[in-house]
Chain A
């Protein structure tokens, strides 16, 4: 199978600081890949580089053999990279339904004039999008909150809104930045279920950053370990679990004397 997303020798400097060095990534369709590493290793930076928030200093990024390096974030997102954020990035004055509707922005084609004069085309598209949004809400079990402001929802539900919103952009790859941060064990189990379900229902590839080993080992088919912006190990979960370098990076060196 050919690769969906291909990152080649990506390097990025923030001024004189080398944040990411010689990073390679290869995601196949429907593969779940995990990215682990200690705090400050540059995991989120890699997300931001691929999704276009920053443009890498060197290297190439291709999505289905099309170059996406240097495009604007919204263009990359419209091409099929959906993402969630480490600290929830929801729109605090908007209700849940509007969140999902908003993520369909790139699928609108009625133009500004259509919006100004509320043309038939505009109304038809908006009703279609609304129906689609309700279906997504149902799938993520947040339909009962549809007309509430997101800030009034419990934390777990807010996370689900963010996932649903990311899925509304019709992604080919879903980027999850610490999807279980701040969750209780119960919510964690639920999150695993949701991610599995998304993976099956939408046939998307998933690329996730995570700290909880249990979560990563259970979900991922392929794992990369990042330390100080460099990959030190990659491979299937079993291999990573027993890799001495990974253990050292996480737990420190064993003192033998």
Chain B
């Protein structure tokens, strides 16, 4: 315990900027020397995609090589560079602190995106994992609005996602692709990436309209009964899509253009985090918590509980629809089976693992469950034993999830960590 604390203390004066710089160096090292030198001499067949978990699980003899790789490429450079550069990252962070918060946040995000782009660009598999992880973040935060902040137990998220995915796919196929179903493209394809956000938003609105079917019963019932209604909603959507031959039925629908690139998804994810954060920290958004904790008291304190419940559902569903649209355009193929119980289990696992009533928690949950899910893929069946076991342990020790009831404090996250300046 003592050494860990010392270790933590030693690195506590590094601002976010310093960590970013450290990670940047690590990514550069991997980019230039990763394949030619480091992985070659360590006896690895190629650059480990997700920190070598796949290699280690396939062939235990590679464990030392993978460990060495992680140490050389990630751990040592990150810690070293982050610590060494504090002499100028701290003053820089201090200057950024003086600027308006939004500017400082945007600068940090641009740096972060650059690093992510470089890291994900090293192989296609990694890029796909990053994209799907960000979509999971949107899904998890949006379900947290309903299940965490509003305190209902809604199981209809895959349904909302399916509505968004199908609506936006139909729109892009109709307008920008020469397709078997919809005929020739109605608009020139160069407009596609620009109109794409509108199709996503259309999908989002369609999903939030659909969510009314779950929202209206929620005026009268809650808890288990609403969970059953929402589960039924999910199955209705799934079987409805299976029976509409026009959009491919159970065979699914393919050929969506590749508009959901990494920057597009990144921007949508950040937008989602920003808007939901604004909402849940405003009084209007905190009304969700009030309704969850005591509905009668909220009514007496002038809170419009019906409007609040409807807002929670429609807002959550809107973002689920957006996530669905992005998902469809990442994979270029969707079928109704994608939006079923497995997906629901995944989303619920993410939100309850990460933590209710917290955006940071949702991000942590989404990232850890999706990365874990990918990293443990070689274990096949055992993967579905290990992940639930982890969940059970989290539920025992932290019933509300890893990080619950906490909000992001951007200012504290990004501030300069120079203790001398603080002391003065």
> Residues of A with Cβ closer than 8 Å to B?
51, 53, 72-74, 77-78, 82-83, 85, 89-94, 98, 101-106, 108, 110, 112, 114-118, 122, 126, 129, 165-166, 168-169
B405 to A: closest C-beta gap in Å: 6
Binds A, one of B61-69, B192-200, B238-246, B296-304: B296-304
| Neighbouring B residues of A74 by C-beta, 8 Å | 298-300, 302-305
Q: Is there an interface contact between B296 and A108, defined as CB atoms closer than 8 Å?
A: no
Binds A, one of B104-112, B180-188, B220-228, B285-293: B285-293
29 A-B Cβ contacts within 8 A?
A51-B300, A53-B296, A72-B304, A73-B296, A73-B300, A74-B298, A74-B299, A82-B300, A85-B296, A85-B300, A89-B300, A90-B297, A91-B298, A94-B290, A102-B290, A105-B301, A105-B302, A108-B283, A115-B278, A115-B282, A115-B285, A116-B278, A117-B275, A118-B282, A122-B282, A126-B282, A129-B283, A165-B301, A168-B301
Q: A115-B279, A169-B301 are in contact. Are A93 and B293 (CB under 8 A)?
A: yes
Q: Is there an interface contact between B301 and A116, defined as CB atoms closer than 8 Å?
A: no
| Neighbouring A residues of B285 by C-beta, 8 Å | 115
Q: Is there an interface contact between A77 and B405, defined as CB atoms closer than 8 Å?
A: no
Interface string of B374-408 (1 = CB under 8 A from A): 00000000000000000000000000000001000
Q: Is there an interface contact between B303 and A72, defined as CB atoms closer than 8 Å?
A: no
User: Which residues of B in the span 172-190 have a Cβ within 8 Å of any Cβ on A?
Assistant: none
Most chain A CB within 10 A, of B275, B282, B302, is at: B302
| Neighbouring A residues of B282 by C-beta, 8 Å | 114-115, 118, 122, 126
Q: Is there an interface contact between B286 and A98, defined as CB atoms closer than 8 Å?
A: yes
CA distance A83 to B299 in the complex (A): 11
Q: Is there an interface contact between A126 and B302, defined as CB atoms closer than 8 Å?
A: no
A94 to B: closest C-beta gap in Å: 6
Q: Is there an interface contact between A91 and B294, defined as CB atoms closer than 8 Å?
A: yes
Q: Is there an interface contact between A112 and B303, defined as CB atoms closer than 8 Å?
A: no
Complex: chain A residue closest to B304, CB-CB: A74
CA distance A166 to B284 in the complex (A): 18
A129 to B: closest C-beta gap in Å: 7
Interface status of B335 (Cβ within 8 A of chain A): no
A192 to B: closest C-beta gap in Å: 23
Interface status of B357 (Cβ within 8 A of chain A): yes
Beyond A91-B294, A92-B293: 7 further Cβ-contacts under 8 Å? Answer: A74-B299, A89-B297, A89-B300, A93-B289, A93-B405, A115-B278, A116-B275
Interface status of B311 (Cβ within 8 A of chain A): yes
Q: A108-B283, A112-B284, A115-B284 are in contact. Are A169 and B294 (CB under 8 A)?
A: no
| Neighbouring B residues of A106 by C-beta, 8 Å | 302
| Neighbouring A residues of B284 by C-beta, 8 Å | 105, 108, 110, 112, 115
> Residues of B with Cβ closer than 8 Å to A?
275, 278-279, 282-287, 289-290, 292-294, 296-305, 311, 357, 405
Most chain B CB within 10 A, of A73, A82, A169, is at: A73
CA distance A249 to B293 in the complex (A): 38
10 closest pairs, A vs B, by CB?
A106-B302, A89-B297, A91-B293, A73-B299, A115-B282, A118-B278, A115-B284, A103-B301, A77-B302, A78-B302
CA distance A105 to B299 in the complex (A): 10
A164 to B: closest C-beta gap in Å: 11
CA distance A82 to B302 in the complex (A): 9
Chief secondary structure at chain A's binding surface: helix
CA distance A165 to B282 in the complex (A): 17
| Neighbouring B residues of A101 by C-beta, 8 Å | 283, 286
Complex: chain A residue closest to B297, CB-CB: A89
B104 to A: closest C-beta gap in Å: 16
Q: A102-B283, A108-B284 are in contact. Are A117 and B278 (CB under 8 A)?
A: yes
| Neighbouring B residues of A89 by C-beta, 8 Å | 294, 296-297, 300
A110 to B: closest C-beta gap in Å: 8
B142 to A: closest C-beta gap in Å: 13
Q: Is there an interface contact between B299 and A91, defined as CB atoms closer than 8 Å?
A: no
A58 to B: closest C-beta gap in Å: 23
CA distance A168 to B297 in the complex (A): 13
Most chain A CB within 10 A, of B278, B297, B311, is at: B297
| Neighbouring B residues of A115 by C-beta, 8 Å | 278-279, 282, 284-285
Q: B283 is contacted by which of A78, A82, A112, A126 (Cβ under 8 Å)?
A: A126
| Neighbouring B residues of A102 by C-beta, 8 Å | 283, 286-287, 290, 298, 301, 303
Complex: chain A residue closest to B299, CB-CB: A73
CA distance A102 to B291 in the complex (A): 11
CA distance A117 to B299 in the complex (A): 26
| Neighbouring B residues of A114 by C-beta, 8 Å | 282
Complex: chain A residue closest to B294, CB-CB: A89
| Neighbouring B residues of A93 by C-beta, 8 Å | 289, 292-293, 357, 405
CA distance A129 to B289 in the complex (A): 18
CA distance A114 to B275 in the complex (A): 10
Q: A91-B293, A117-B275 are in contact. Are A105 and B300 (CB under 8 A)?
A: no
Complex: chain A residue closest to B293, CB-CB: A91
| Neighbouring A residues of B300 by C-beta, 8 Å | 51, 73-74, 77, 82-83, 85, 89, 166
Q: Is there an interface contact between B290 and A91, defined as CB atoms closer than 8 Å?
A: yes
Q: Is there an interface contact between B357 and A77, defined as CB atoms closer than 8 Å?
A: no
Q: A90-B294, A115-B279 are in contact. Are A77 and B301 (CB under 8 A)?
A: yes
| Neighbouring A residues of B294 by C-beta, 8 Å | 89-92
CA distance A116 to B305 in the complex (A): 18
| Neighbouring A residues of B298 by C-beta, 8 Å | 74, 91, 102
Q: Is there an interface contact between A72 and B275, defined as CB atoms closer than 8 Å?
A: no
Complex: chain B residue closest to A101, CB-CB: B283
Q: Is there an interface contact between A169 and B302, defined as CB atoms closer than 8 Å?
A: yes
CA distance A169 to B300 in the complex (A): 9
CA distance A116 to B287 in the complex (A): 14
Q: Is there an interface contact between B283 and A94, defined as CB atoms closer than 8 Å?
A: no
Most chain B CB within 10 A, of A78, A92, A112, is at: A112
B343 to A: closest C-beta gap in Å: 26
